[in-house]
Amino acid sequence: MNTLQQIRFIWKPVVFLVCLLPLLLIIGDAFGVTGSLGANQIEAILDRFGNWALRFIMIALMVTPLRRLTDWNWLSRFRRMLGLFTFFYAFMHFLTWLVLDQELRLSEILEDLIERPFITLGFIAMVLLTALAVTSFMAIRRRMGKRWQLLHNMTYVIGILGVWHYWWQVKKDITEPLIYAGILFVLLTARVIWYWNRRSLRAAA
């Protein structure tokens, strides 16, 4: 088996199963098999899916810098899967809010979306994530040409909106959103530095 086949038939299925573990743990805890969700089950499910969406977007954003630092080009083969898992966990978070928390009451949903800015931010991030997930297929990517990369640069905007959404609703301890903001800052700075280096190299050539 060559490296590409190993990635396709061994490592991709392994990474896929690992990415499903948070979901399995949430389901296990909900049914009291692997643990428990505590007193407020709906809030616990909502928070866990939200946290995993944010973790996955950070991991997906780490792929390119890590690939550049290590020259492990095979890493980019996992980017789409990680992006789609970000969408999946964010969508589960959104569905939990819509169905379990708001019980599909349209007037309250609209009120929350308009009057609670952190929910408005989360919603914008969700819309952008949906656009990225829908356009993640190779056929669409080819058809979109250069516009595809422009759209997919939105991943950074989604990361910022996600951290902001989290930060805004935290009541006291801002440690966790601060950690996410720090990671995002490092990743964004690395991107900007690489971009400028490439530009000056091109200009010199």
CA 171 – CA 123 distance, rounded (Å)? 20
**Which region, judged by CB under 6 A, interacts with ligand HEM, from 10-18, 67-75, 117-125, 197-205?**
117-125
- Nearest Cα neighbor of 148 from 158, 156, 157, 137 is 137
Of the residues 28, 37, 51, 130, which one makes contact with ligand HEM according to CB under 6 A: 51
Give the nearest distance from C-beta 148 to ligand HEM in angstroms.
21
Q: Which is nearer to ligand HEM, 71 or 173 (CB)?
A: 173
Helical residues (DSSP H) of the chain, grouped into ranges: 3-6, 12-30, 41-70, 79-95, 106-115, 117-134, 138-144, 146-152, 154-169, 175-204
Nearest to 29 by CA among 18, 45, 16: 45
Nearest to 154 by CA among 140, 182, 133: 133
Is 75 among the residues that bind ligand HEM (CB under 6 A)?
A: no
Determine the Cα–Cα distance for residues 51 and 47; give it in Å rounded to an integer.
6
**Is residue 79 close enough to count as binding ligand HEM by CB under 6 A?**
no
**Residues 68, 141, 169, 181: which binds ligand HEM (CB under 6 A)?**
169
Interaction of residue 165 with ligand HEM, rule CB under 6 A: yes
Closer to ligand HEM by Cβ: residue 75 or 90:
90
Q: Which stretch binds ligand HEM (CB under 6 A): 39-47, 73-81, 130-138, 188-196?
A: 39-47
> For residues 58 and 75, which CB has a smaller minimum distance to ligand HEM in the complex?
58
102 SS3 class: coil
Residues 81-100: x where in contact with ligand HEM by CB under 6 A, - otherwise, as a string: ---------x--xx--x---
SS (H, E, C) 172-196: CCCHHHHHHHHHHHHHHHHHHHHHH
Residue ranges binding ligand HEM (CB under 6 A): 43, 46-47, 50-51, 53-54, 57, 90, 93-94, 97, 119, 122-123, 125-126, 129, 162, 165-166, 169
